[in-house]
C-alpha cells in the first residue's frame, strides 16, 4: 500500500474557522514529492485530529512551536501507537530535538528549515530507516518552496499568507527569530511572491498576511552606518536588499486593487517616508509593530532601545497612520521596570498613537531567547516545579495548571500583572473605544465589520490566553467560533480564476 503523508499543525483550541492560513503546512506539502500523492493536511485550529486518521506505515509530520508543543506531543504519541512514522519539525523541535523523541514519540526530528531535507526524510521513513535528526539548516534565498494553495479547504480561512523575507537583523532579548532564522535577511524573489499572491486572489483571498519576520530588514540608519564605515561591500549588499523591497512593492501595486496586505515591521520604518509611501501604493494597509514598552528603561531591558518612548513614540506611530498604514501595536507587560502606573500609561499611549488594534502580552521567557537563557541560568538547580515539571520547561506543564507568569517581579505579584493586563485589554476593546476607532473606515457596513473583527481578535487572543478560569476560556472559544464565520465572509471576495500574473510571459515555470 502507498505511504500516506499527513502534516499536522497542533492546537488545543479549535475555532472551526481560522484567521491566517498556517503557511508551513502548504509549503511542506509543496516540498513533498508527487510520488507520495497529496499529503493530508490537518490544521487543528480548525478541527482536532483523531488518532484513527493515522495508519500503519503512514508518515506524520508535526510542526511545533513552544506554545503548541504539548498538544503536538500528544498527537505524535497517538500516531506512533497506530504504527505511523512520526517526524517533528518547527522552532521548538529545533531547540529541543531530544524532547520530541522522549515525549512526542518521534522517529525523527528536523531542525532548522524543513523544506530542503523533507524529501530525504520521507524517503528514509518510507524505507523504515529514519535518522534520529536531520539538519535542515537555513534555506537559501533561491530555495524557498511555493505553497500548495490548491490543497486549501474551501471556506475555512480569512487570510492567505505569503512569505517575502526570512531572518531579522535585530537582537531583541525576548525574541528567538534572530537566533533561529538568522540575522542575515533572506529575501524571496518578487516574481515568486507575486505568483503566490495571484494564486490566492484567484481563489477569492483578498486579505494576505506577508508572514515575514521583519518586512523592513534594512533601515536608513543601517545604510548610513555602512556608509560612514566606508564598508562598500556591506553598503552595496544592504542597498540591494532595499531595492528588492521596493521592486516587490512595485509589483504588488500592479495587482487588483481590492487586495489588502498586512505585515510585521520595526518602528524605524516610520522615519522612512519613501518606504511608507511605497507600502501604501502596494496596499500594505496594516503592520504589526512591536512597541513592547512605553518607557526608555523597559526598552533598554529588552535590548530594543532602537524604539522611542513617550511623546516621540506617539509621534512616530502616528506617522504610519498618516501614510495610510494601520498599526497593530504589540506591548509586553511584566518587565522588571514596569510599575503600577505603566498599565494606564500604555493604554493612554495606545489611544494617543492612533493604533487601530493592539495586543498586550505578558512577559514569558521563550526558549531560544536571551531572556530565557538568563532566566534558566539564574534558577539552575532550584527551579520551582508544577506537577513535578520544572518551570523552566513550562510548555510541558498541563495547560490548566500552567502559571500565567514565570519571572518574579520586583514590585508586583503575578496575579496583579495578569489582572491589570486583562483590564487593559478590556478597556482598549470596550465597545465605546472600538466604535471610536471604527471611524477609520467610511461606510456603516465597514464600521460594523470593524467592530466584529475587533471583538473576534479580542476573544481569540486575550480571553483564551490570559484568563484564569477555564470557564472563561471555554466561553471565549465558543464566542470566537461563533464570530469567526461571519468575519470570514467579510474578508473574502469573488474568486478571479483567470487573473493573470502581471508581466508574466509564461505561467508554467514559477521561479522561486
Ligand atoms: S522582535 Fe522583531 S525586531 Fe526584534 S528580533 Fe524579533 S523579529 Fe526582529
Question: Do the Cβ atoms of 462 and 429 come closer than 8 Å?
Answer: yes
Residues 6+ apart with CB under 8 A from 244: 187, 190
CA distances from 121 to 36, 91, 112, 138 (A): 12, 17, 14, 16
| C-alpha of 133 from chain center | 25
| Share of residues in the chain with pLDDT > 70 (%) | 92
Question: What's residue 471's pLDDT?
Answer: 55
* Better-predicted residue by pLDDT, 123 or 228: 123
Output the CA 80–ligand 1 centroid distance in Å.
Answer: 36
Q: What angle do CA 176, 288, 391 make, to 5 degrees?
A: 35
Question: Do the Cβ atoms of 194 and 5 come closer than 8 Å?
Answer: no
Q: What is the rounded average pLDDT for all residues in the chain?
A: 90
Question: Do the Cβ atoms of 60 and 87 come closer than 8 Å?
Answer: yes
Residue 444 has pLDDT above 90, yes or no: no
178 touches ligand 1 (CB under 6 Å): yes
Question: What's residue 462's pLDDT?
Answer: 60
Output the CA 221–ligand 1 centroid distance in Å.
Answer: 16
- pLDDT confidence bin for 510, thresholds 50/70/90: very low
CA 462 – CA 251 distance, rounded (Å):
36
Residue 506 has pLDDT above 50, yes or no: no
Output the CA 276–ligand 1 centroid distance in Å.
Answer: 19
| C-alpha of 173 from chain center | 17
CA 309 – CA 298 distance, rounded (Å):
9
Residue 129 has pLDDT above 60, yes or no: yes
Q: Is the dihedral of CA 325, 317, 431, 331 positive or negative?
A: positive
Question: Do the Cβ atoms of 282 and 252 come closer than 8 Å?
Answer: yes
172 touches ligand 1 (CB under 6 Å): yes
| C-alpha of 292 from chain center | 16
- pLDDT confidence bin for 469, thresholds 50/70/90: low
Cell of 397: 506543564
Output the CA 169–ligand 1 centroid distance in Å.
Answer: 8
CA 326 – CA 284 distance, rounded (Å):
9
Residue 494 has pLDDT above 70, yes or no: yes
Q: Which residue from 165, 186, 213 has its CB within 8 A of the most atoms of ligand 1, so it is best to mutate? A: 213
Average pLDDT over residues 218-241: 92
Average pLDDT over residues 186-205: 96
- The atom number, within ligand 1, closest to the CA of 292 reads 1
Output the CA 175–ligand 1 centroid distance in Å.
Answer: 6
CA distances from 142 to 28, 165, 510 (A): 16, 11, 12
- The atom number, within ligand 1, closest to the CA of 175 reads 6
Which of 11-15, 121-125, 207-211 comes out lowest in average pLDDT? Answer: 11-15
Identify the residue whose C-alpha is closest to ligand 1 atom 3.
170
* Better-predicted residue by pLDDT, 469 or 424: 424
**Burial degree of 471 (CB within 10 A; 0-12, 13-18, 19+):** exposed
302 touches ligand 1 (CB under 6 Å): no
Output the CA 22–ligand 1 centroid distance in Å.
Answer: 20
| Share of residues in the chain with pLDDT > 90 (%) | 69
CA 184 – CA 167 distance, rounded (Å):
6
Residue 95 has pLDDT above 80, yes or no: yes
- pLDDT confidence bin for 221, thresholds 50/70/90: very high
369 touches ligand 1 (CB under 6 Å): no
Residue 480 has pLDDT above 80, yes or no: no
CA distances from 131 to 89, 137, 309 (A): 14, 16, 50
The 10s digit of each residue's pLDDT in 10-23 is 999 888 888 889 99
290 touches ligand 1 (CB under 6 Å): yes
* Better-predicted residue by pLDDT, 349 or 2: 349
Residues 6+ apart with CB under 8 A from 291: 267, 307, 313, 317, 329, 330, 331, 349
332 touches ligand 1 (CB under 6 Å): no
268 touches ligand 1 (CB under 6 Å): no
Instruction: Output the DSSP codes for 341-383.
Output: HHHHHHHHHHHHTT-SEEEEEE----TTSHHHHHHHHHHTT--
Output the CA 96–ligand 1 centroid distance in Å.
Answer: 21
Q: What is the largest CA-CA distance in the chain?
A: 66
Residue 512 has pLDDT above 70, yes or no: no
**Burial degree of 483 (CB within 10 A; 0-12, 13-18, 19+):** buried
H or E segment and range at residue 210 = strand 207-210
- pLDDT confidence bin for 482, thresholds 50/70/90: low
Amino acid at each position: 500500500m502507498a505511504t500516506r503523508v499527513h502534516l499536522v499543525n497542533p492546537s488545543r483550541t479549535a475555532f472551526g474557522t481560522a484567521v491566517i492560513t498556517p503557511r508551513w503546512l502548504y509549503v511542506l506539502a509543496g516540498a513533498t514529492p508527487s510520488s507520495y500523492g497529496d499529503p493530508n493536511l490537518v490544521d487543528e485550529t480548525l478541527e482536532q485530529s483523531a488518532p484513527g486518521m493515522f495508519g500503519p506505515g503512514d508518515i506524520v509530520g508535526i510542526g511545533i512551536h513552544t506554545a503548541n508543543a504539548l498538544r503536538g506531543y500528544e498527537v505524535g504519541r497517538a500516531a506512533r501507537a497506530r504504527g505511523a512514522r512520526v517526524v517533528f519539525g518547527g522552532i521548538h523541535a529545533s531547540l529541543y530535538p531530544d524532547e520530541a523523541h522522549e515525549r512526542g514519540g518521534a522517529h525523527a526530528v528536523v531542525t532548522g528549515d524543513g523544506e530542503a531535507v523533507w524529501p530525504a526524510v520521507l524517503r528514509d521513513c518510507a524505507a523504515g530507516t529514519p535518522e534520529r535528526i536531520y539538519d535542515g539548516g537555513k534555506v537559501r534565498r533561491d530555495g524557498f518552496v511555493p505553497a500548495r494553495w490548491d490543497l486549501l479547504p474551501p471556506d475555512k480561512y480569512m487570510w492567505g499568507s505569503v512569505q517575502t523575507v526570512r531572518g531579522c537583523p535585530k537582537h531583541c532579548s525576548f525574541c528567538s527569530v534572530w537566533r533561529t532564522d538568522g540575522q542575515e535577511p533572506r529575501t524571496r524573489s518578487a516574481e515568486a511572491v507575486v505568483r503566490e499572491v495571484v494564486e490566492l486572489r484567484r481563489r477569492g483571498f483578498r486579505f494576505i498576511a506577508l508572514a515575514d519576520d521583519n518586512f523592513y530588514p534594512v533601515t536608513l540608519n543601517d545604510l548610513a552606518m555602512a556608509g560612514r564605515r566606508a564598508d562598500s561591500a556591506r553598503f552595496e549588499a544592504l542597498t540591494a536588499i532595499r531595492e528588492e523591497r521596493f521592486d516587490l512593492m512595485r509589483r504588488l501595486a500592479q495587482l487588483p486593487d481590492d487586495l489588502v496586505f498586512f505585515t510585521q515591521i520595526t518602528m524605524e520604518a516610520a522615519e522612512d517616508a519613501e518606504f511608507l509611501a511605497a507600502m501604501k501604493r502596494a496596499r500594505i494597509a496594516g503592520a504589526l509593530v512591536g512597541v513592547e514598552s512605553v518607557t526608555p528603561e523597559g526598552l533598554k531591558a529588552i535590548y530594543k532601545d532602537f524604539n522611542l518612548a513617550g511623546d516621540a513614540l506617539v509621534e512616530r506611530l502616528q506617522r504610519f497612520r498618516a501614510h495610510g498604514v494601520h498599526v497593530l501595536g504589540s506591548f509586553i507587560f511584566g518587565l522588571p521596570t514596569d510599575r503600577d502606573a505603566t498599565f494606564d500609561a500604555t493604554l493612554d499611549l495606545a489611544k494617543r498613537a492612533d493604533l487601530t488594534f493592539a495586543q498586550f502580552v505578558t512577559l514569558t521567557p521563550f526558549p531560544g531567547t536571551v531572556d530565557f537563557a538568563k532566566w534558566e541560568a539564574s534558577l539552575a538547580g532550584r527551579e520551582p516545579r508544577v506537577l513535578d515539571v520544572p518551570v523552566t520547561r513550562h510548555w510541558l506543564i498541563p495547560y490548566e495548571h500552567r502559571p500565567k507568569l514565570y519571572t518574579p517581579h520586583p514590585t508586583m505579584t503575578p496575579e496583579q500583572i495578569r489582572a491589570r493586563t486583562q483590564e487593559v485589554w478590556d478597556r482598549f476593546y470596550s465597545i465605546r473605544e472600538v466604535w471610536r476607532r471604527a471611524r477609520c473606515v467610511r461606510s456603516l457596513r465597514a464600521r460594523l465589520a470593524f467592530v466584529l473583527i475587533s471583538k473576534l481578535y479580542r476573544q481569540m487572543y486575550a480571553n483564551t490566553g490570559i484568563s484564569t478560569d477555564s470557564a472563561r476560556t471555554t466561553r471565549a472559544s465558543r464566542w470566537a467560533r461563533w464570530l469567526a464565520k461571519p468575519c470570514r465572509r467579510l474578508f473574502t471576495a469573488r474568486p478571479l480564476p483567470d487573473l493573470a500574473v502581471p508581466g508574466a510571459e509564461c505561467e508554467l515555470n514559477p521561479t522561486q
